[in-house]
Structure formats: C-alpha cells, structure tokens
C-alpha cells in the first residue's frame, strides 16, 4: 500500500512501495546515480523523501532490470529452497545448462552470471517437490512473497488418515471444513484456504500464505499424515510437464 502521509520515508522504501524495484535494487541504483527525485539526482543512501515527490529512474536502470532472469524449477526431494543447511544443497545448484528443460524454447543462453542474486521467491520444504521460483527481479519476489501478497499457491497432497483407531478411514467432513477455515498456527488464525479431495487419497490445497511447513501442520491438526506434497501452481504459472530436477526460464509474456 502506498504511503500517503506527510512523514518523510526512505527513498528505497518508497521505490519498493511503488513497485519500481526491490529495496536492495533501489540502494544499488541510488549509489550509481540512476535515481532522480523531482528531477534532481539522488546518490546518498538513506535519503528520505515525501510520498508526494516524483521519482524517475535513468534508462541504465531499466535496461539492467530487463536483463534480470526468473527461473522455474521442479524441485526434487532433498534440496532446500534457499541457503544450504544441514549438509543439504540449495535448489540453485540444479540451475546449470545440462539441467535446462529441453522443451524450453526461449532464445536465452544460460550464463553463470545469471546465478548472481538469484534467490528463491518463497519456500518449499526439503521433503516436498514441485514448482519453485528463483528470480533476480525484486519486483517479482515482492509480488510473490511480500506482505499481503494476493498470489495463490496450489498443492497436491497425498495423505493418510491416522487418528486413534481410525487408521485408513476417510477424514470427517467437519475436519475438511476446518482445513478450509478454522485452524490456527503459532497462536494466529490461518487465512481461509480452498481444500478439497483430488482423489481418494489426495487433497488439493490452495493457499494465499506460506507459514513454515503450513500444510503438514494443518494436516497433522486433523489427524492426517502427509505422504507426499507437490506444488503445482503459483498464481497463473503452472508446473505443467516440467520434469523433476529440470528448470526453464519465465518468458516475458508470462505473468504470475
């Protein structure tokens, strides 16, 4: 939401609010002298402005931003989304020329420089598979994981009902309703979800939030054991036929 008060705020924050770039990109552009406020070049980090002031960016910044890549990967089990941890490799290790999906027809050549500042826009647990977005574009990252992001994430979740003596039975309708709306995690009520049966042992989850291990913890709360979890869609971008362990570029015409 745009800041409409008369209180000064950091230029980098204002640029992020306006969707021009991420805060990190803003600081980089400011230090390079690529940002103007009311026509005056601003090169000092930490500069504060009013929301009513006009921000423009130089063509060099727009040109550099257009070169930033976004990668879609079908993450296998055993890889973490972000930084390496507990001896497990990050998914970015899979982004190399030999793992590029053969059916990716975009006229882009892979180059190791594309790995610089390529970060995961959202988590996917080490024991989960499916669509993971890695991007150099701060605007995309903010859109996908920023506070109050409107982007839906869709998952296929293979489950087993295992409560007391009811192992193997069907989840009661009342608990299915609780999965849709009525559960809390970490003392806070979850946003409404869309949860339905995909088939007799698989649920379809559509969420607009992504708390740590949220789906697994939701299932546990109603007596379900998760046997497998796969993310198949983020916004309007589907996993489709992208093979596990392969990646492709997001094209300019694709929008989340």
Domain with CATH 3.30.70.580 in the chain: 67-149+237-249
Catalytic residues: 125
Write b or e for each residue in 35-61: b if 16 or more Cβ atoms lie within 10 A of its Cβ, otherwise e. Answer: bebeeeebeeeeeebeeeeebebeeeb
State residue 4's pLDDT score. 54
Neighbours of 96 (CB within 10 A): 12
Residue 187 structure tokens: 């003392």
For residue range 35-93, list pLDDT tens digits in order. 999 999 999 999 999 999 999 999 888 777 767 899 999 999 999 998 877 889 999 99
State residue 71's pLDDT score. 97
Domain with CATH 3.10.290.10 in the chain: 9-65
State residue 196's pLDDT score. 97
State residue 43's pLDDT score. 92
| CATH 3.10.290.10 is the classification of domain 9-65 | yes
- What whole-number percentage of the chain has pLDDT above 90? 71
Q: List the one residue out of 54, 62, 66 whose CA is nearest residue 18.
A: 54
Asked whether the predicted pLDDT for residue 247 surpasses 70, the reply is: yes
State residue 41's pLDDT score. 95
Asked whether the predicted pLDDT for residue 146 surpasses 90, the reply is: no
d(CA 237, CA 249): 12
Asked whether the predicted pLDDT for residue 1 surpasses 60, the reply is: no
d(CA 215, CA 206): 10
d(CA 98, CA 33): 39
Residue with the larger pLDDT of the pair 184 and 68:
184
For residue range 103-144, list pLDDT tens digits in order. 999 999 998 889 988 999 999 999 999 999 999 988 898 889
Query: What's the CATH architecture for 153-234?
Result: 2-Layer Sandwich (3.30)
Mean pLDDT along residues 215-229: 96
Asked whether the predicted pLDDT for residue 237 surpasses 90, the reply is: yes
- What whole-number percentage of the chain has pLDDT above 70? 95
3-state secondary structure the chain: CCCCCCCCEEHHHHHHHCCCCCHHHHHHHHHCCCEEECCEEECCCCCEECCCCCEEECHHHHHHHHCCCEEEEEECCCCECCCCECCECEHHHHCCHHHECCCCCCCCCCCHHHHCCCEECCCCCCCCEEEEEEECCHHHHHHHHCCCCCCCEEEEEEEEECCCCCCCCCCCHHHHHHHHCCCEECCEECCCCEEEEEECCEEEEEECCCCCCHHHHHHHHCCEEEEEEEEEEECCEECCCCCCCCEEECCCCCCC
Choose the CATH number for 67-149+237-249 among 3.90.580.10, 1.25.40.10, 3.30.565.10, 3.30.70.580. 3.30.70.580
State residue 66's pLDDT score. 67
State residue 116's pLDDT score. 86
Domain with CATH 3.30.2350.10 in the chain: 153-234
């Amino acid at each position: 939401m745009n800041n409409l008060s008369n209180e000064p705020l950091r230029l980098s924050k204002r640029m992020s609010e306006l969707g021009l770039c991420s805060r990190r990109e803003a600081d980089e552009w400011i230090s390079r002298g690529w940002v103007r406020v009311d026509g005056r070049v601003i090169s000092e980090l930490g500069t504060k402005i009013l929301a009513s002031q006009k921000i423009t960016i130089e063509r060099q910044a727009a040109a550099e931003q257009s070169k930033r890549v976004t990668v879609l990967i079908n993450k296998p089990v055993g890889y973490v989304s972000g930084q390496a941890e507990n001896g497990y490799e990050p998914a970015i290790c899979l982004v190399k020329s030999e793992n590029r999906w053969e059916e990716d027809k975009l006229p882009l050549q892979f180059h190791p420089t594309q790995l610089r500042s390529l970060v995961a826009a959202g988590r996917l647990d080490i024991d989960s598979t499916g669509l993971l977005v890695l991007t150099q574009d701060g605007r995309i990252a903010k859109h996908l994981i920023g506070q109050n992001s409107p982007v839906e994430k869709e998952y296929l979740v293979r489950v087993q009902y295992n409560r007391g003596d009811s192992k193997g039975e069907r989840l009661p309708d009342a608990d299915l309703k609780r999965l849709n709306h009525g559960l809390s995690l970490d003392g806070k009520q979850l946003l409404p979800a869309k949860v339905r049966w995909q088939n007799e042992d698989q649920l379809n989850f559509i969420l607009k939030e992504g708390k740590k291990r949220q789906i697994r913890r939701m299932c546990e709360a109603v007596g379900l054991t998760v046997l497998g979890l796969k993310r198949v869609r983020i916004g309007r971008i589907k996993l489709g036929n992208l093979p596990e362990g392969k990646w492709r570029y997001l094209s300019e015409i694709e929008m989340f």
